[in-house]
Structure 1
Amino acid sequence: MVRGPMSTNAAWALIRPGCAGPPSPASGRRTARRLFCFFFVVLGLGVSIRCIPAALVAPEPTPIVYDRNGAFVTQIGAHADYGYWPLRAVPERVALATLALEDRRFFSHPGVDPRAVLRAAWRNLFGRGRREGASTIAMQVAHMQTRAPRSFAAKILEAATALALIARHGHEAVLAHYLRLAPYGNGSHGVAHAARFYFDKPAEDLSLAEIALLAAVPQAPGRMNLFRERGLASARTRAKQALAYLREHGLVDTTQVALAERQLATLRPVGAARRLDALHLALRYDALIREGAIAPASPQDPRIHASVDLALQEQVASLTRRYLSLWRGAGARQAAVLAVERGTGAVLADVGSSDYRDSRDGAFDFTRVQRSPGSTLKPFVYALAFERGALRATDILSDIPEGASGVDNADGLFLGPMPPRQALANSRNVPATNLLRRVGLEANFRFLHDLRLHDVEAPAESFGVAMAIGALPTRLERLVAAYGALAEDGVLSDLVFAREQRRRRSIRVMSSDTARLVTSMLADPLARLPSFPRYGPLEYPFAVAVKTGTSQGYRDAWTIAFSRKAIVGVWLGRGDAGAMNRLSGAASAARLAHAVLAHVHGAKPGDLAEDSFPAPDGRVPVEMCLSGGANGGACSETLMEWVKPNERPAAALAAPAPFAAAVGPVALAITTPEHRTHIWRNPEQPETLNRLALKATATPSAQQILWYVDGEPFALAEADATVYWPMRPGTHRIQARLPMRQEGSRVVEITVE
């Protein structure tokens, strides 16, 4: 067989690897003798074909991943070996062009071409030009299946196997298998894969010019690299020979050949070989496919239609690098961002680090690394308390020092009594840990597990109430999915990375009422006062529910924000879990989340949308009083709350709430201790027993009393309950007050020795 204008070195390597340059007369004679010997040995082996293994074997098809707009993302294969897509049927023109260059007498020989062997021997013995091999299509299939090193013995075995392949499977099957295995450069194997990889179309839709160009490549895929100008030029030269052969032998209409020759002059691939800037994303799809979470819909067309938008991915990655550069001086080294489409859960952008090649921990995908979530789990603590009936929107929570519990707030301050809306929006630690304690450690631990935030097997007690403020580690991808349950009316679903993804069944983890109520609290800019000032990075020109988090020692900064359109999750920190210099979630991650979400919405400066989240069904808006007024109980500060009609607010309500009943004046009196009492502590008693009982009366009766010691809130308790204050030396002033009201008892002064 004549292989066409193959380079001297490439042709000689088929017979004797390692040699270079034209052979000497002696080496030419040795080659000729080997070819004659080869011919007769193969004839001898022909009688024992039945004993030769001759299966048609190919690796599994390897998928190509495209983004939601059809842009190439990556392809998945082992050791950069891609392709091997099967063909439903071999397109006629693909077969003709391939045989014109590789094996013109394919259908007239049994797998080994005697004429090609004799001609190659003659030319290698007496010729002075290029050396020739004699490999047929069937012999190439045998070689590609075994990939044995080139040697005379291997050539003999390939030839015998080629005879067996044709005898057992027939010419058509062997040709189809060749077109599945043949190398087309840049890791692509098989014409079906190459057609999609280079021209983004099925092999059946290739033009004659595209077919000829691809048919040229398998002879020397490294030299004829279609992504390089020199390689493309070499492939075009060889493709013209295929077209000329088809025209001369009347195999294709001359008009079509002429058109193909004109097209060939300007033809170039439309595909792209690599996208290293999205390497974390490529590795994400590689893992999902290898784990079986994503599988092509058809082995004949192993494309994966990814949910990501590569243009958005690149823009989010650019924003990540830009904002991270602002905080590197404060010790931040890496950031990760996930952007997810509302309603579908489709991941739009997945940035695992600022840059995979960044020496500062860039190779870690921080969307999948477990870290302390800070306060980002608090909304779920509130959600479970609402679900269990342990909390109502009109209740009053206490943000006061907890003494021996050791719980403090990030700002070191305590804001006293406040409704749940304000406590959650201000991210106060004491109310959250008290709620967790009230509902139960085990119940909260299981609920967070049901939300798929963790899969820890340790007992809940090992985390304690601190699981509400960051003790229970989780991942950004899990956190974003859990917030998706809040955004989607209490239904938890998997994040979706591709149309072909196998997803778990969506499950309801909380009622729509609870999800909407908590969402309204996270979206209320007034409720965030005074901890988070207005018009900062937590406010948007459209409705957004947002929660920040900061882990102990400023090791992690988080923000999760969702609108009617998307959910964005941001993490900022260091790969070595080292501390940053007072970089909180609100001061850092929230700014990046704001930039990403605004970009997703296409928001411009000055834009203001009149949208909002849906209200909880069956609830009515009521204005709750945050501070008592001087004129008949009128409120100077209020928050709007969504209240069930059968719930009576614990705090005073301001008009125009339809059922708001203002509580009348209440007289408070401290009964224990008495004014100017002198108390001596017993130094031999344990500290826990050196306590002073505080009791008061309310006329008429009140629901709760807030105790103040030395002007600071100490405890919120039922009106008739006894409260114990841990005594400390000095003179102290004690007062009982009504939550959210101005009424208070006479100040009682005591001295402790």
Structure 2
Amino acid sequence: MIHKPYTGKFFKWSCLSLILGLVIFIGKTISDFTSPYMEFHAVRSDASNLQILDRNNKPLTFSYQTRWNTHDNIALHEIPESFQQAFILAEDKRFFKHHGVDWQARASALSERIWSSNKSRGASTITEQVVRMLHPRARSYWSKWIEGLEAIALETQVSKSDILEFYLNQVPYASNRRGVVQAARFYFDRDLNTLSIKETLALAVLVRAPSKFDLYGGKVQIEDSINRLAKKLVEYNILDSESLINLKKHNLILSVAKTPTSSFHFVNYVREHIGNQSAWNQTKIVTTLDSNLQQFINDLLENRLKSLSSKNINNAAAIVIDSKTNEIIAWVSVGSRCKETMNKASGCLIDMVTAPRQPGSSLKPFLYGAALEKDWTAVTIIEDLPYSNRVGQGIHHFHNYSNSYYGKVTLRTALGNSLNIPALHTINYVTPEKYLFILQNLGFKSLTQAADYYDEGLALGNGEVTLFELAQAYSTFANRGIFSPLKITFYRDAPSDKKRIYSDEVSSLIGNILSDPWARNLEFSRGSVLNLPTQTAVKTGTSNDYRDAWAVGYNYRYVVGIWMGNADYSATDGITGSLGPSLALRGIFNELTKNTETAPLYISPKLVAKDVCINPEDLENHTLNCAMHTEYFLPEEEKSPVELTTNKIDIFRPANGLEMAIDPRIPHNKQAFEMRLSGALETDTVEWVIDNEKHAPTLGITFLWPTKIGKHYVEAIIWRNGQVLTKTEKHAFNVK
């Protein structure tokens, strides 16, 4: 018996298997499939994020270590049409005809694989390549299927032009470059609209295999590929035959692009201070920074740190202001090891332009400006003699930088030579409260403590301020005494809270003193590096233990401020303001004024010029036959005779609250303490009153008192010309 096969049962199970397989296939497809629209939109939004540009539209924000190009995006209408056509013809010639998948190209590629084993052609459309960027997957037939579905879905939600724009801005190249803008700069150091036809075709060819075809280190030459693409352009009437012939005659010339200027500290400051980005209605913000000047100063400071490497100094910062517009045109913060360690070395990520540090003597011009506003003149005589005062329960002996004392000096000499003792007398005249009020109005927001916290030490820079604040305050002198906040962008003006701090006459007089080589002759010499070819007001500063070195200056147009030191507050090996930053300051001013017409500093026409004695003693005694120099006065000052300004007479030593101890190695009856007055004359008669006991009057400002253990009180009565001149305040002190 011959049995017929039972085909019905077989067919049934075959159909069930097919249906089950189809269900599994569809289920896996659905589970793997993800609409790329959300990612596409997110990347475009991120890529359209606020970009920070310099004043010449050069990018200040850049990074080649991120997944997406968010800084060098370009709108499709800004990309030359011939450039777009070359990429479409090279990658997806039916781009505007298909709906995400080019089935004709896929069939052709499959045929080539079957009959010729040619695996060089992938048939991926531009849309599919965009999907692959958004959803990277291992290469397989399955991933190819999913990419096709996602490409179809993407084209139902996004226009062709948006997809092409995304592709041209994000397509990967060698060395982590993304997009045609970065590629054009990387290989040819030019913008897209300046590329030759051959350079354009090279960028189109390179995307096929960025590493293999890399013009700098690739293993495969791309000339043949460029020529094949050029012939296609001729076939489609995009390129004429003559251009094809010329293209073959010329070689590609590579030009290594310069790394964009390092400005991330400035960029961070801009981002923090521009407020709500939506209010700007801009995708790009043009700042006031000049990236060419920025690069010059960056290199200058790095070289300066290198030359001072033996002095234990690792960080430097600079800021440059155009005082005519109040725009910041350079903002640099560098470290000696930041470049080699990719900013991982100590202090590299700290912006030393905005980091509070002790300014030393660089604040003194603001103090003397206050004294001039009050009623002092440039020839007011101030004592420069040893000076001590109480600090806590002890006593501090103040001295000048050179440890020299010059006796009686004029205000011009005191400021020009940055003498410390006259500055202390000046702040006692102005008062710390008034001086702090002026500094806070000059924009020193870092000085947050009360006046009694700083006390007279504020005259010597014991409060911390930032380089930004210091340069901004100096721009007040450059702007004839009017304070105005600095500008960082062209889209929004700085707050219009301009206010006058110093008169036109006083501010110009301060500039005249700070630019006078003769005024600084005692401490700096007339041949100092601070004497610039163009009249420039310059001031230096050095903090305690050489932790901070400053140099600030301004001329007819620019304000420059420089800080040097260590971000970790460690001391340098003797770096002062005149030794460290001054040479860099001179270099920056030379760069700013080269090939330009310069001008002297402004001097107020209201100031009255008058010849006066150079020597303070002659000036005080109104000597007729003396060496003379020209000095400037306010009109009302010129009418009155120049007189000695007598400082307040007070007990200089012991300071109020002083704690001292008997030396156990010396018999008590052999020990004595020298009491001393300040502000009195050596010809004055002084009656010392200790513990309510009057001692015999003595001539001069000192008195030798035999020490006694216990708490004591002292005051002094000063006689002059046979009459009581004044009585000092009572000081308490303790001997242990």
Aligned to 1:252: 239
1:320 deviates by 4.2
Aligned to 2:481: 490
Aligned to 2:552: 560
Aligned to 2:718: 694
- Does the Cα contact within 8 Å between 1:63 and 1:75 map onto a contact in 2? no
Aligned to 1:642: 632
Residues 52, 581 of structure 1: CA spacing in aligned structure 2 closer, same or farther, 3 A cutoff?
Answer: closer
Distance 2:254 2:150 in 1: 35
1:375 deviates by 0.7
1:215 deviates by 1.7
Distance 2:627 2:212 in 1: 77
Alignment partner of 2:263: what SS? helix
1:468-479 map, 5 Å: 468-479=459-470
- Does the Cα contact within 8 Å between 1:41 and 1:156 map onto a contact in 2? no
Alignment of 1:343 with 2:332, yes or no, is: no
- Does the Cα contact within 8 Å between 1:308 and 1:349 map onto a contact in 2? no
Alignment-mate amino acid for residue 324 of structure 2? G
- Does the Cα contact within 8 Å between 1:395 and 1:650 map onto a contact in 2? no
1:100 deviates by 1.6
Distance 2:68 2:287 in 1: 21
1:551 deviates by 0.7
For residues 627-669 of structure 1, what are the alpha-carbon distances to aligned partners after superposition, in whole Å with 9 as ceiling and x for unaligned? 345998225355533212212556369xxxxxxxxxxxxx997
Aligned to 1:702: none
The TM-score, its normalising length taken from structure 1, stands at: 0.72
1:127 to 116, 121, 124: 116
1:194 deviates by 4.8
Aligned to 1:352: 334
Aligned to 2:571: 579
Residues 669, 523 of structure 1: CA spacing in aligned structure 2 closer, same or farther, 3 A cutoff?
Answer: same
Distance 1:167 1:199 in 2: 37
Distance 2:324 2:112 in 1: 70
- Does the Cα contact within 8 Å between 1:394 and 1:643 map onto a contact in 2? no
Aligned to 2:655: none
Residues 430, 222 of structure 1: CA spacing in aligned structure 2 closer, same or farther, 3 A cutoff?
Answer: same
1:335 deviates by 3.9
Q: Which moved more, 1:359-368 or 1:613-622?
A: 359-368
Aligned to 1:463: 454
Residues 269, 500 of structure 1: CA spacing in aligned structure 2 closer, same or farther, 3 A cutoff?
Answer: farther
Alignment-mate amino acid for residue 571 of structure 2? A
2:363 to 358, 373, 377: 377
Aligned to 1:742: none
1:356 deviates by 2.5
1:217-236 map, 5 Å: 217-226=206-215, 228=216, 230=218, 234-236=221-223
Alignment-mate amino acid for residue 335 of structure 2? S
Aligned to 1:429: 420
Aligned length: 641
1:123-162 map, 5 Å: 123-148=112-137, 150=139, 152-162=141-151
Alignment partner of 1:88: what SS? helix
For residues 127-167 of structure 1, what are the alpha-carbon distances to aligned partners after superposition, in whole Å with 9 as ceiling and x for unaligned? 33335433212212222233455455543332112112333
For residues 597-638 of structure 1, what are the alpha-carbon distances to aligned partners after superposition, in whole Å with 9 as ceiling and x for unaligned? 3454459xxxxx996422224110123433345998225355
Alignment partner of 1:350: what SS? strand
1:711-750 map, 5 Å: 720-722=725-727
1:60 to 47, 66, 76: 47
Residues 119, 464 of structure 1: CA spacing in aligned structure 2 closer, same or farther, 3 A cutoff?
Answer: same
- Does the Cα contact within 8 Å between 1:65 and 1:74 map onto a contact in 2? yes
Alignment partner of 2:581: what SS? helix
Alignment of 1:284 with 2:265, yes or no, is: yes
1:319 deviates by 5.0
- Does the Cα contact within 8 Å between 1:485 and 1:493 map onto a contact in 2? yes
Residues 222, 368 of structure 1: CA spacing in aligned structure 2 closer, same or farther, 3 A cutoff?
Answer: farther
Alignment partner of 1:640: what SS? strand
Distance 1:610 1:213 in 2: 48
Distance 2:165 2:318 in 1: 45
Alignment-mate amino acid for residue 581 of structure 2? A
Alignment partner of 1:524: what SS? coil
Residues 676, 486 of structure 1: CA spacing in aligned structure 2 closer, same or farther, 3 A cutoff?
Answer: closer
Aligned to 1:31: none
Aligned to 1:659: none
For residues 572-609 of structure 1, what are the alpha-carbon distances to aligned partners after superposition, in whole Å with 9 as ceiling and x for unaligned? 33344333444432344334433443454459xxxxx9
Alignment partner of 1:465: what SS? helix
Alignment partner of 2:76: what SS? coil
Residues 253, 533 of structure 1: CA spacing in aligned structure 2 closer, same or farther, 3 A cutoff?
Answer: closer
Alignment-mate amino acid for residue 630 of structure 2? M
Alignment-mate amino acid for residue 353 of structure 1? G
1:493-508 map, 5 Å: 493=484, 503-505=494-496, 507-508=498-499
Residues 635, 451 of structure 1: CA spacing in aligned structure 2 closer, same or farther, 3 A cutoff?
Answer: farther
2:381 to 396, 401, 414: 396
1:438 deviates by 4.0
1:272 deviates by 0.9
Alignment-mate amino acid for residue 376 of structure 1? S
Residues 161, 335 of structure 1: CA spacing in aligned structure 2 closer, same or farther, 3 A cutoff?
Answer: closer
Distance 1:193 1:315 in 2: 23
Alignment of 1:614 with 2:602, yes or no, is: yes
Alignment-mate amino acid for residue 101 of structure 1? A
Distance 2:255 2:103 in 1: 41
For residues 149-197 of structure 1, what are the alpha-carbon distances to aligned partners after superposition, in whole Å with 9 as ceiling and x for unaligned? 5455543332112112333445444334433432344444444565577
Distance 2:90 2:427 in 1: 75
Alignment partner of 2:86: what SS? helix
Aligned to 1:525: 517
For residues 243-298 of structure 1, what are the alpha-carbon distances to aligned partners after superposition, in whole Å with 9 as ceiling and x for unaligned? 11122344433334434444xx42345561625xx5xx332354246446599999
Q: What is the root-mean-square deviation of aligned Cα atoms in Å?
A: 4.6
- Does the Cα contact within 8 Å between 2:611 and 2:631 map onto a contact in 1? yes
Alignment of 1:113 with 2:102, yes or no, is: yes
Distance 1:724 1:458 in 2: 27
Residues 180, 598 of structure 1: CA spacing in aligned structure 2 closer, same or farther, 3 A cutoff?
Answer: closer
1:64 deviates by 8.1
Alignment partner of 1:636: what SS? coil
- Does the Cα contact within 8 Å between 2:57 and 2:286 map onto a contact in 1? no
Alignment of 1:539 with 2:531, yes or no, is: yes
Residues 258, 299 of structure 1: CA spacing in aligned structure 2 closer, same or farther, 3 A cutoff?
Answer: farther
1:97 to 82, 86, 90: 86
Q: Which moved more, 1:430-439 or 1:356-365?
A: 356-365
Uncovered stretches (5+) of structure 1, i.e. residues with no partner: 1-36, 604-608, 654-666, 700-718, 729-753
Aligned to 1:79: 66
- Does the Cα contact within 8 Å between 1:559 and 1:570 map onto a contact in 2? yes
Alignment-mate amino acid for residue 586 of structure 1? S
Alignment-mate amino acid for residue 641 of structure 1? E
Aligned to 2:290: 308
Residues 164, 68 of structure 1: CA spacing in aligned structure 2 closer, same or farther, 3 A cutoff?
Answer: closer
Distance 2:339 2:376 in 1: 48
Residues 694, 246 of structure 1: CA spacing in aligned structure 2 closer, same or farther, 3 A cutoff?
Answer: same
Aligned to 2:17: none
- Does the Cα contact within 8 Å between 1:330 and 1:581 map onto a contact in 2? yes
Alignment partner of 2:155: what SS? helix
Distance 1:197 1:491 in 2: 46
1:550 deviates by 1.3
The TM-score, its normalising length taken from structure 2, stands at: 0.73
Aligned to 1:25: none
Residues 636, 174 of structure 1: CA spacing in aligned structure 2 closer, same or farther, 3 A cutoff?
Answer: same
1:266 to 238, 251, 264: 251
Distance 1:443 1:632 in 2: 32
1:692 deviates by 3.2
